């Protein structure tokens, strides 16, 4: 499934890159005496474009995890391509409607795209040279977006008894800026509100929580949080995220950033650089808005920023190559070749490792093995389970496959008090008390995602050939 989404993203990127090349060549042809004198060939642009796409997909977003970010990348590329088509020529209303549909689907995939959709839509309003001429298409895109997004907004608003398009942004702000705990908020800081229905902490060390059913909807457990502005904390978080962003974009040994810097220094005139970037600002505004939003509200992770970095980098490469002498084309070709070579060098070990895993059958689905193994050991769908780890990281995956309910968890890694908060490091009486508490909560089994250690490990059974272990309470 992940690979199928990757192929879909590749197709969407191909559409985006084709529209970008046509837009760029159209501008070049307006100023060229002879079209044979175009500075950079289409082949060079495609080598550069696909190199950046594969870097973004394989090293930022990655194929090793199942998450919505590759699908978001596909929709971002598709929306960016449609935006270029809207700017490139007079566009029928149907293209605007398709633009709104893509933005709506992107929002259904991930909440952050609700806000970014209005950035894309706002930019499209200036596409016709006159706002009055662009209004009909803009309204068509807006109406389509609303039609797609409205059912989800309505469902969430009814569930929360207030108008909302999603609370993940507020929660991320409260966690990263207001320093709310990212797990099991108990109301430690009254200035940020009090939880309406917190999880129940039944032991302090090691930290043990009961929650009746696993918290798939994190907004339920953070109901009551009141994010508030904190200038000093905001500046600190933004600076931290900017440094992480710089680290992420320096991938491929910094060749992309260095290539942009070399192209910038080689551009003929500062005034021309400004004119060229202004010509492409419609394409640069959405990715810059996304990166700024992540820096302010949340934290920077490669899988979040992958498509936006790719669109931004290509937009800058194309912008700084407008109306340049022929020697500039040789420079772009050299930069593209260097980026491609480094990409190949970095990708070969990944491909070799993936092939070796397939040949040695090491790439099996461990979560399915755990679910199947527990079923063979007597666990049945609908049973209650306790977790020796933060369940929403790994145990949630096999629990969904086994159709069981995780109702409590205790940590085996430092979380609150690094010197005490370890189930395996706790004394035997504390371990027995925790296991008895799980049994009183009607849990059938306790599952650990690592091998038991310490003096009290009797009763723990390995689940198949995995590194997971089970302790049956009944």
244 shares its domain with 122: yes
141 half-sphere exposure, CB direction, 13 A CA radius: 28
Cα(61)–Cα(163) distance, integer angstroms: 32
445 shares its domain with 346: no
Mind giving me the DSSP string for 269-334? -HHHHHHHHHHTHHHHHHHHHHHHHHHHHS---HHHHHHHHHHHHHHHHHHTTTT--HHHHHHHHH
- Residues 171-185 as b or e (16 or more Cβ within 10 Å = b): bbbbbbbbebeebbb
Cα(105)–Cα(322) distance, integer angstroms: 34
User: What is the side-by-side strand order in the sheet with 461-462?
Assistant: 200-203, 208-210, 405-410, 384-388, 445-448, 469-472, 461-462
Last residue of a domain, one of 323, 357, 391: 357
Last residue of a domain, one of 316, 337, 357: 357
Please name the residues in contact with 423: beta carbons below 8 A apart, sequence gap of 6 or more: 206, 388, 410, 411, 412, 431, 434
Cα(122)–Cα(268) distance, integer angstroms: 32
The candidate with the shortest Cα–Cα distance to 53, out of 368, 398, 306, 384, is 306
36 shares its domain with 157: yes
Cα(469)–Cα(395) distance, integer angstroms: 11
8-state DSSP, 448: E
- Alpha-helix runs per DSSP H in 178-224: 218-221
270 shares its domain with 389: no
Pairing, β 405-410 against β 384-388: parallel
Contact (Cβ atoms closer than 8 angstroms) between residue 87 and residue 23: yes
376 shares its domain with 441: yes
Helix-then-strand count for the chain, H and E: 17, 7
303 shares its domain with 441: no
Domain count, the chain: 2
418 shares its domain with 308: no
Residue 73 — φ and ψ, nearest 5°? -60, -45
250 shares its domain with 374: no
- Whether 344 maps to a domain, the answer reads yes
Which structural domain range is residue 273 located in? 2-162+231-357
Whether a cis peptide bond, with omega within 30° of 0, leads into 129 is no
101 shares its domain with 238: yes
283 shares its domain with 387: no
292 shares its domain with 393: no
pLDDT tens, position by position, for the chain (474 residues)? 788 999 999 999 999 999 999 999 888 877 664 555 667 889 999 999 999 999 999 999 988 777 899 999 999 999 999 999 998 877 788 999 999 999 999 999 999 999 999 999 999 988 867 788 889 999 999 999 999 999 999 999 998 889 999 998 899 999 999 988 888 888 888 888 899 888 899 998 888 999 876 566 788 888 899 998 889 999 999 999 999 999 999 988 899 999 999 988 887 677 778 888 989 999 999 999 999 999 998 788 999 999 999 999 999 999 998 878 777 888 999 999 999 999 999 999 887 776 766 666 555 788 999 999 999 999 999 999 999 988 887 888 899 999 999 999 998 665 555 556 788 888 889 999 999 999 999 999 999 998 998 877 889 999 999 999 999 998
Mind giving me the DSSP string for 32-63? -SSGGG-SS-HHHHHHHHHHHHHHIIIIII-S
């Amino acid at each position: 499934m992940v690979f199928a989404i990757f192929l879909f993203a590749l197709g969407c990127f191909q559409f985006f890159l084709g529209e970008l090349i046509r837009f760029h060549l159209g501008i070049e042809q307006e100023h060229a005496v002879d079209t044979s004198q175009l500075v950079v060939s289409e082949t060079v642009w495609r080598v550069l474009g696909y190199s950046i796409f594969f870097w973004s997909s394989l090293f930022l977003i990655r194929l090793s995890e199942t998450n919505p970010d590759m699908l978001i990348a596909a929709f971002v590329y598709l929306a960016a391509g449609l935006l270029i088509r809207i700017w490139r020529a007079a566009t029928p209303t149907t293209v605007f409607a398709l633009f709104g549909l893509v933005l709506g689907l992107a929002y259904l995939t991930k909440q952050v795209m609700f806000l970014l959709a209005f950035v894309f839509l706002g930019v499209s309003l200036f596409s016709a040279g006159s706002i009055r001429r662009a209004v009909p298409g803009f309204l068509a895109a807006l109406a389509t977006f609303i039609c797609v997004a409205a059912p989800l907004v309505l469902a969430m608003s009814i569930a929360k008894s207030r108008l909302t398009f999603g609370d993940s942004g507020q929660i991320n702000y409260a966690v990263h800026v207001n320093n709310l705990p990212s797990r099991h908020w108990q109301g430690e800081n009254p200035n940020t509100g009090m939880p309406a229905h917190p999880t129940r902490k039944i032991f302090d060390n090691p930290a043990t929580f009961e929650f009746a059913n696993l918290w798939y909807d994190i907004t339920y457990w953070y109901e009551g949080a009141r994010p508030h502005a904190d200038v000093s904390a905001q500046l600190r978080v933004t600076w931290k995220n900017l440094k992480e962003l710089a680290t992420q974009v320096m991938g491929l040994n910094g060749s992309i950033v260095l290539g942009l810097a070399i192209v910038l220094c080689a551009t003929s005139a500062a005034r021309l650089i400004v004119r060229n970037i202004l010509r492409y600002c419609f394409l640069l505004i959405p990715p810059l808005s996304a990166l700024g939003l992540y820096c302010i509200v949340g934290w920077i992770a490669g899988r979040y920023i992958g498509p936006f970095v790719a669109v931004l980098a290509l937009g800058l490469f194309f912008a700084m190559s407008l109306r340049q002498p022929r020697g500039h084309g040789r420079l772009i070709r050299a930069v593209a070749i260097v980026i491609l070579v480094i990409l190949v060098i970095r990708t070969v070990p990944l491909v070799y490792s993936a092939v070796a895993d397939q040949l040695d059958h090491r790439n099996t689905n461990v979560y399915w093995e755990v679910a199947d193994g527990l079923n063979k050991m007597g666990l049945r769908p609908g049973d209650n389970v306790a977790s020796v780890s933060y369940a929403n990281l790994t145990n949630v995956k096999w629990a969904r496959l086994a159709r069981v309910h995780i109702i409590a968890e205790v940590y085996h890694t430092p979380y609150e008090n690094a010197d005490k908060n370890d189930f395996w490091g706790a004394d035997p009486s504390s371990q027995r008390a925790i296991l008895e508490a799980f049994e009183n909560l009607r849990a059938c089994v306790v599952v650990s995602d690592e091998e038991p250690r310490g003096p009290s490990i009797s009763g723990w059974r390995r689940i198949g050939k995995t590194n997971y272990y089970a302790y049956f309470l009944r």
